[in-house]
Amino acid sequence: MKESVLKHLPNIVRASLEGDKRTVELAVMTIIRKIKKENPSLSDELAGILSTYGAGAPLTRSLGIDPPPTDKESYLSLVKISDNSDLGDKIVLSEGTSIIVDRFLKEREVMGKLISNGIKPPNSLLLYGPPGVGKTFLAKVISKQLNLPLITLDLASTVSSYLGKTGQNLKKVLEYAKSSPSILFLDEFDAIAKRRDDPTDLGELKRIVNVLLKELEDWPNNSIVIAATNHPEFLDKAIWRRFDIKIEMPLPDATVRLKVWIENMDKDIVDIPIDFLEFISQSIEGVSPADIKQISEKVLREVIVDDTDPRFALIRVLRESYSLSIPNFNKTMVKKLKSIFGKKITQAQIAELLGLSVSTVNHHLKSESKLQN
Ligand SMILES: Nc1ncnc2c1ncn2[C@@H]1O[C@H](COP(=O)(O)OP(=O)(O)OP(=O)(O)O)[C@@H](O)[C@H]1O
Ligand SMILES: [Mg+2]
């Protein structure tokens, strides 16, 4: 062995005995670089130890799958693996979406029956819709329901600035995902598709996308591919066609919003009347379930810390984050507060809660009575 490699040995021994993992890691990485050409199998083995050491390793072992592939130079893992068996939260979907998802799950559960009749079970899903509607969440739910590990392609480390490498990385990930029953999740799928617009990248990216299309075509029956995107318009028809099932996940309507509000305004923590949440669901449009979750968490914190009425807390949080994007927010809220609390709330209190002047509150209330007359 080369002198330049051996000289790291004392350092490594000392650091391992002292439990200094970082120094061991750095020294081993130096060695990997030095021996890469002469002894590729040893350097690969060392790289494998480094990359699976730590968080990912026990998980992959418990799932009975091989350690994940890594980028050749950075040794970063190209995928994130998650076991969703203890996913607790409940996903809320529109009726139309639920029907499609349930159907897919059912066909997967009886796939043996389909295969024995010479019929291919569906194994590719495309989820599309705006941010925060639960695309990533749905992938996890499916992973839980079908009891398959979710292998998420990490586009940040896979789509390298060197496109040649991107292709290699993608191939590694595809091979890995196919090697045992799993769900390959191509999150933010448009990151690949979008870059096809870049004229300098065109040739290589086209090849990459072609590799992907080909792979999708003969993806093994015991594995699934799920892709998610906020920008379906960037995907070309060839890609679109390759997915067995496409699921549109739009922003929720008032009925779905109400379910999400109820789910998030945990009954064990706050006591908030259902009719108030109904009012909120109907008047606050354009919010995603992720927005609702975030708003609810803020409200719960306020209720617990300050012992505020949850309705006040909710109106305040909405005012801070959403009032500008909601038409007639102030007017609607002034009227609602008056109708709920009647004489128990003064105009000054309403003004304070909504950050308005008393005369504006007065004005809104008068405009209401004019309407009623
Ligand atoms: N339909 C839903 N039902 C219940 N909770 C939801 C739903 N959608 C989103 N959430 C909550 O919001 C969080 C964030 O949603 P998620 O990351 O799945 O959205 P996304 O559609 O993947 O967004 P993006 O396009 O930004 O990736 C979820 O972890 C979940 O807690
Ligand atoms: Mg997502």
End-to-end CA distance of the chain: 96
pLDDT of 20 strictly over 90: no
Over 90: is that where the pLDDT of 100 sits? yes
Domain that holds residue 341: 254-372
Same domain, 163 and 234: yes
241 plus 267 within the same structural domain: no
The CATH number of residue 166's host domain is: 3.40.50.300
Is residue 372 predicted with pLDDT exceeding 50? no
pLDDT at 298: 93
Query: For ligand 1, is residue 136 a contact (CB within 6 Å)?
Result: yes
> Same structural domain for residues 221 and 273?
no
Are 34 and 133 in the same domain? no
The pLDDT assigned to 27 comes to 83
Say which CATH number the domain at 281 has: 1.20.140
Q: Which atom of ligand 1 is nearest to the CA of 290?
A: 12
Cβ–ligand 1 distance for 87 under 6 Å, the answer no
Of 105-114, 203-212, 214-223, the one with minimum mean pLDDT is 203-212
Q: Which residue has the tokens 């709330």?
A: 345
- 191 Cβ inside 6 Å of ligand 1: no
Supply 288's token pair.
């995603």
pLDDT over 70 at 259, yes or no? yes
For residues 42 and 141, state if they share a domain.
Answer: no
pLDDT at 55: 41
Q: Is there a single domain that holds both residue 294 and residue 338?
A: yes
Helix, strand, coil abundance in the chain, percent, nearest 5: 60, 10, 30
pLDDT higher for 140 or 329?
140
- Of the given ranges (76-85, 169-178, 278-287, 322-331), which has the lowest mean pLDDT? 322-331
Q: Quick count: other Cβ atoms within 10 Å of Cβ 63?
A: 18
Ligand 1 close to Cβ of residue 169 (< 6 A) = no
Region 150-161: mean pLDDT is 75
What is the overall mean pLDDT for the chain?
Answer: 84
Average pLDDT over residues 228-237: 85
Examine the domain organization and report whether 151 and 225 are in the same domain.
yes
Indicate if 99 and 141 belong to the same structural domain. Answer: yes
CA 88 to centroid of ligand 1, rounded, Å: 14
* Interacting residues of 65 by C-beta distance below 8 A, sequence separation 6+: 81, 149, 179, 180, 182
DSSP codes, 207-218: HHHHHHHHHHHT
Q: What is the pLDDT of residues 180-217, one digit of tens each?
A: 889 999 988 877 765 555 555 556 667 777 778 888 88
Provide long-range contacts, Cβ within 8 A and 24+ apart, for 337-343. Answer: 338/365, 338/368, 340/276, 340/311
d(CA 65, CA 69): 12
Q: What percentage of the chain has pLDDT greater than the value 70? A: 86
89 and 191 both lie in a single domain: yes
Do 96 and 25 sit in the same domain of this protein? no
Least confident of 17-21, 61-65, 170-174, 222-226: 61-65
Q: How far is the CA of 290 from the centre of ligand 2 (A)?
A: 10
Q: Do both 312 and 347 map to the same domain?
A: yes
Return the pLDDT at 373.
38
Q: What domain count does the chain have?
A: 3
Shortest-distance ligand to the CA of residue 289: 1
For the segment 32-73, what is each residue's pLDDT rounded down to a tens digit? 878 888 888 888 888 777 665 544 455 565 666 677 888 777
Q: Is the CB of 134 under 6 A from ligand 1?
A: yes
CA distance 124 to 189: 13
Q: Please report the pLDDT score of residue 52 as a whole number.
A: 58
Among candidate residues 228, 248, 268, the one where a domain is terminated: 248
Residue ending a domain, choose from 214, 248, 282: 248
**Considering only CA atoms, which residue is closest to atom 11 of ligand 1?**
290
Rounded Cα distance between 204 and 214, Å, is 15
Last residue of a domain, one of 202, 230, 248: 248
Decide: 252 in ligand 1 pocket, CB within 6 A: no
Instruction: Name which residue sits closest to atom 18 of ligand 1, judged by CA.
Output: 134
Ligand 1 contact via 289 beta carbon (within 6 Å): yes
| Residues 185, 171 within the same domain | yes
Measuring from atom 17 of ligand 1, which residue has the nearest CA? 136
**CA–CA separation, 272 vs 143, rounded Å?**
33
**Which is more confident, 271 or 249?**
249
Model confidence over 119-137: pLDDT tens digits?
Answer: 889 999 999 999 999 999 9
- State the average pLDDT over residues 74-86: 83
Q: In what order do the strands lie in the sheet with 245-248?
A: 79-82, 150-153, 183-186, 224-229, 124-128, 245-248
- What are the φ/ψ torsions at residue 284 (nearest 5 degrees)? -100, 95
The pTM of the whole model exceeds 0.85: no
Does residue 143 line the site of ligand 1, with CB under 6 A?
no
Inform me whether the pLDDT recorded for 172 exceeds 80.
yes
Contact status, residue 63 vs residue 181, Cβ threshold 8 Å:
no
